[in-house]
Structure 1
């Protein structure tokens, strides 16, 4: 049975005694006794959503040949509510057995990395990669390496841990441009979401010379056909990734939030919410390709319709896997605190995978998700075969 249609290993539901909020943990697969996947918080989060996300994480770890399985946490609560930190702390406290031994989590929608780390510190666990760090030969040394990598400064005044996911999405976009021989200066991009993932992607696409003509946040769409001044817009964001409309650069037009879907651009990057592209709105898409920066950004029905319209979708478990892959390279000591090394590896792996997906699309119109699933299944089968031994599956070895 392949990852995409396998039943999850475990589903767990939690109810907060203080607020009544519901939380969910889905462990799709365990590899070497470990699963990885972020924790999100949003009003309306459901078990079905978290299960979809856990399945996506299992595909990510397989596609990038990581020695772990896939999982996801989710809390149905407004992250802007002043009680959100307490809700998240109680959720993690309840899941302590999994957090101690099996589940390596990180940031996701509504939960920035510094917030989840603050919760773990309050629980006495130091950092959200705790379940992996405690398995290492020298946990203190591994913790120092992880913290050095997460906090390495990059151009633009940000930290490597905050931008690496967006960098990976940008490389997926640049990989599409390379595969189709598009000149960067002539390529236009529309991005739904300008938080950690969308903002990072916008920054690196701007730096690479592509024209980001539209971005959207919760307040609406910002549009400038000549190309937005991305560094200026990013300076205007608040802690929730929303841009201050009172200080917009000259020439920026404000449009309704959903207008981003129909912006005329070569590349559409949904980088905010799950299920942003649905059967009822996919017809508005005018882009030549969709690159999923958000997890589960496109419903299956919408993807079928887009494929029929000759618009390929680069799936989330490839396009937005950069942060997850990099975190494990860092944990395993395969990259260190030098951003140049991390960027080189991620650029090389992301662009090669996008090239593979598009080669099958160009030749036979095989949907990129299908090719991606085949790659994930092949990689996971090879890893499973390597693990077969009289002693059983080997323990995860972290230096």
Structure 2
């Protein structure tokens, strides 16, 4: 198998800085992934990929996505991001990602996902812990694992436990623990994004009640972030799903809107207040606000549309939502971009804390631990950043650091 370096879309031009600014030094070209494997579905012709970017103690972690147009470059980029997440949060595992080029709304999607996971079973049995991602809910992937006799998608890690049945019971209790926003496993990632937004705002002198937020995406990550930002007193003025953008300068009734979502994460327009403006889907990106949260698809912010962004801070809740050239342009404009592998890493960090027994089924313990770690990391990155340093991601990227993690022991 030939491995070649894979990069995010977009070239890397020189950063346009003020004449007096020192030109930042970009990080070195990243290494090739550890493993890249392609799968072809014999029944539909759908393509799928597993990319293991790094293997630590024989284990890597990262979700599986399904969307029409998914590519191997996208999956490799996401796997690289997972390596950064696990390193940034000092987790004793590497990074990987699965991806399938197929419409998740197609009635054959469950069977396609099942055949993909069956083909990847040697890795899912021993080396790869996967979970939900774009187009694939946790319930859906757990259904597939049950079909294949593996009980739960954390199967490879649980298999290392001395008492797999007890570990499975503990993990399931944590995943389904009740929180004010829903099941803990469903909302923890969005809660982490909300804390990243609040920390970034405070670091630039904005208290929660004076912070306006626009969020692209109302699925697990975007919806959770919107809920907890609303709970914290921030003003969520724009929410966008696949249908369009909902806008209210006085702040949206986030919980009421989220309650109308269907299984594809789309808000029922028949239940939207007449005082709420209904705008085109991409209008969310140009909304004048303090913080923009792209929480939908990868590569949503590009060189073609980044000039229209009217926010002081971008907190990346989706995986790889900003192309490299767009991020450089935004940086040159003084817009702080908190990278995805920090802002949206709460879900994977928490999953491994749960697996390792550091948290249980009391959501308050999980929230407290994630709040402390996310706030510390984001505050430091934003408070110490200046545009002449280059993108914040350069300072936050720890993927090249040689790691010596604690032994991977699943109780």
The TM-score by the shorter chain falls in which range? over 0.9
Deviations 1:62-82 (A, max 9, x none): 000000000000000000000
Q: Which residue of 2 aligns with 1:155?
A: 180
Q: For residues 88 and 292 of structure 1, what CA distance do their matches in structure 2 show? A: 27
User: Equivalences for 1:8-27 in 2 at 5 Å?
Assistant: 8-27=33-52
Q: Which residue of 2 aligns with 1:397?
A: 409
Q: Which residue of 1 aligns with 2:67?
A: 42
Structure 2: which 5+ residue stretches go unaligned? Answer: 6-26
Q: Which residue of 2 aligns with 1:117?
A: 142
Instruction: List, as ranges, runs of 4+ consecutive aligned residues in structure 1 with deviation greater than 3 Å.
Output: 1-4, 362-366
User: Equivalences for 1:50-65 in 2 at 5 Å?
Assistant: 50-65=75-90
Q: How many aligned residue pairs are there?
A: 386
Shift of 1:189: 0.2
Q: TM-score, normalised by structure 1?
A: 0.94
Q: For residues 165 and 205 of structure 2, what CA distance do their matches in structure 1 show? A: 47
Match of 2:270 among 246, 250, 275: 246
2:219 paired with 1:195? yes
Q: Which residue of 2 aligns with 1:324?
A: 348
Question: Does structure 2 retain, via aligned residues, the 8 Å contact 1:189–1:213?
Answer: yes
Deviations 1:193-219 (A, max 9, x none): 001100000000000000000010000
Distance 1:363 1:81, change over 3 A: closer
Q: Which residue of 1 aligns with 2:244?
A: 220
Q: For residues 76 and 4 of structure 1, what CA distance do their matches in structure 2 show? A: 27
3-state SS, counterpart of residue 5 of structure 1: coil
Q: For residues 4 and 201 of structure 1, what CA distance do their matches in structure 2 show? A: 33
Shift of 1:56: 0.2
Distance 1:301 1:234, change over 3 A: same
Structure with the higher fraction of residues in helix conformation: 1
Shift of 1:181: 2.2
2:302 paired with 1:290? no
Shift of 1:366: 4.6
Q: For residues 63 and 206 of structure 2, what CA distance do their matches in structure 1 show? A: 34
Q: Which residue of 1 aligns with 2:228?
A: 204
Q: TM-score, normalised by structure 2?
A: 0.92
Question: Does structure 1 retain, via aligned residues, the 8 Å contact 2:196–2:374?
Answer: yes
Shift of 1:250: 3.2
2:104 paired with 1:92? no
Deviations 1:282-312 (A, max 9, x none): 0000000111000001000000000000001
Shift of 1:186: 1.3
2:164 paired with 1:139? yes
3-state SS, counterpart of residue 81 of structure 1: coil
Match of 1:6 among 31, 34, 43: 31
Deviations 1:127-186 (A, max 9, x none): 000000001121111111100000001114x10000000000000001112212212111
Question: Does structure 2 retain, via aligned residues, the 8 Å contact 1:106–1:129?
Answer: yes
Question: Does structure 2 retain, via aligned residues, the 8 Å contact 1:27–1:54?
Answer: yes
Q: For residues 363 and 154 of structure 1, what CA distance do their matches in structure 2 show? A: 38
State the superposition RMSD in angstroms.
Answer: 1.5
Shift of 1:255: 0.4
Distance 1:317 1:207, change over 3 A: same
Question: Does structure 2 retain, via aligned residues, the 8 Å contact 1:202–1:212?
Answer: yes
Q: For residues 24 and 75 of structure 1, what CA distance do their matches in structure 2 show? A: 6
Shift of 1:278: 0.3
Distance 1:376 1:22, change over 3 A: closer
Q: For residues 396 and 28 of structure 2, what CA distance do their matches in structure 1 show? A: 11
Question: Does structure 1 retain, via aligned residues, the 8 Å contact 2:327–2:391?
Answer: no
Q: For residues 67 and 158 of structure 2, what CA distance do their matches in structure 1 show? A: 28
Distance 1:16 1:376, change over 3 A: closer
Q: For residues 298 and 224 of structure 2, what CA distance do their matches in structure 1 show? A: 18
Match of 1:31 among 56, 59, 62: 56
Q: Which residue of 1 aligns with 2:206?
A: 182
Shift of 1:3: 9.6
Match of 1:260 among 284, 293, 305: 284
Question: Does structure 1 retain, via aligned residues, the 8 Å contact 2:328–2:390?
Answer: no
Question: Does structure 2 retain, via aligned residues, the 8 Å contact 1:4–1:55?
Answer: no
Q: For residues 92 and 3 of structure 1, what CA distance do their matches in structure 2 show? A: 34
